[in-house]
Structure 1
Amino acid sequence: GVCRESFTAGNVSGSYRYTGGLTGVIDAANGFTTHVSDCYSLTTVSAPDTQYVGGFTGANWYANVARCYDAGSVSAAGATTVGGLTGLFYDGAVTADSYYDTQVTGLSDNLGQGVPKTTAEMKDLDIFTNWDFPDVWTLSDDNNGYPALAWQGYEHGSLQTVADLIIEDAIAPINGEAPKTAVAETDEYTGTIAWAGDPTTFAPGTACTATITLTAKDGYTFDGVEANSFSVPSAATVSNAADSGVISATFKSPPDGYITDGNGIMAYRYVSNNFDIHGTYK
């Protein structure tokens, strides 16, 4: 079975073997294949004098759990086994990239079934390795600062709009050289370059079009980027759609007789036996 992009909140009371905020038990025994991914619980769990209690699930029987968390309190005095994320964890079960709030739960176990984090850490995007922000998850003040699922419709409160709008790397065509295929990495994004026609080298005086595709790093988004706000110092024209990191840039490689500074940023031409220095050839 599969459970994904689900959450619980409220109160759960248990008096039997398995009690958890999202499920009592995740069962992949007896030939079942079970995957639980991209789920969370803010549920207050109360199950004193029972057997297996977890903030997220009471027990994991050989199932795969990925990118899940718990930030609900757990009260289970007298229980056989209590865990911040999972109460009973069978050999063969797999938990990956999953966490629980150690301050809220009052627990600190870390036996492979969920990593304890402080409340501040649980509200910090940097700890959520391999989580898909903002397509599956958001980090929003509307969810008390904890990650929420994108379908819940909360604003991306903790994601910053990309502000580095100048493609600093020298990517302009240089006669006889191969096209560059990547822009310089910044704190906000990485980027690849695809050239129309897939040229192997640039010929003199040739018009070229590059599609620059930027990928936002964790904590950043292109939502809020205005149309045609990116610039490429060496390009003749530059355009981008609103809320997008895909940029179209046109160039023209210098004709014979022009000299570049070695990286395409500036071209020089002879005028009356002197260098006429007016920037990139366009």
Structure 2
Amino acid sequence: MGGLLGLSNGGTINSAYATGAISGKSSLVGGLIGQARFYGSINNSYATGAVSAPTAYYVGGLVGQARFVSVNNSYATGAVTGGSATGGLVGYLDTTSVNNSYSTGAVLGRNVGGLIGLITRGNVTNSFWDTVTSGQASSNGGTGKTTAELLTQSTYTGWDFTNIWYVADGPTRPFLRSEYEFTKLVNGALTVNAAAAAANGGVVTAIAALPGNMLPRVLPGLYVSVLDGQINFTNRAGSPNFSSGQFGYTPSVTSPPISLPANPGLRFTPPPMFTQPPAFTTVKDGGIKDPVDMVVQ
């Protein structure tokens, strides 16, 4: 049983994802694929839903059992509960290679591992699990890192952050650049923040506050797209300018706004109007006093 496939028999899976929760009683349960076998591969893919199969064996956040396959540039973030051989990424690994991948979900069961639950033969290279969020200090393959370390690009030695992955140090763990192409908004329109001022000759095409339940395909926070001119994006942590064609993002009022390399799959819609927000009140540390948290102008 899997969020995408129950069985992949020699197939090649590219740029696939599953976000729904998985619950099962039989064995071979995975967030994306239940069982992958016989010289196939899983590439540039991810699963985010919780996986619950407390009486089953071979249970994984991405793949329940991987035999004679390769798993490359993939991740899982959902909590995983299994009976035996349970892992944050793969439950049971047999004659399989795992490269440049990670998991972060809580892992519960018997014979568990933060990344890999059980391994017979195989290689795990440049792959990690979060020792804090998983609740697991060990794994049958991979390297355990703290949450803070996994939010830092330098942790991921050998990963391709030019063509495959993207990370903003501090706010995000790595996510796939293909998610820019495949992410579409669902379940309603963006929330428009009208407390902004159009100035500096710039035109903001949208300001969007995203709900946290859309993680990780679209990270929660404030996004801006600049259609023309220049925009100043100010909060307590910074005040950068963004020019025509750029996309700005900040996850919170305490994180400096950063520039994204591309539109993260959002459908920007111009707000009906802009209103001039109250002026910032300067405090001793030079920050911004409530009620104004951020200003785009």
* Structure of higher CA gyration radius: 1
Normalising to structure 2: TM-score of the pair?
0.44
Normalising to structure 1: TM-score of the pair?
0.46
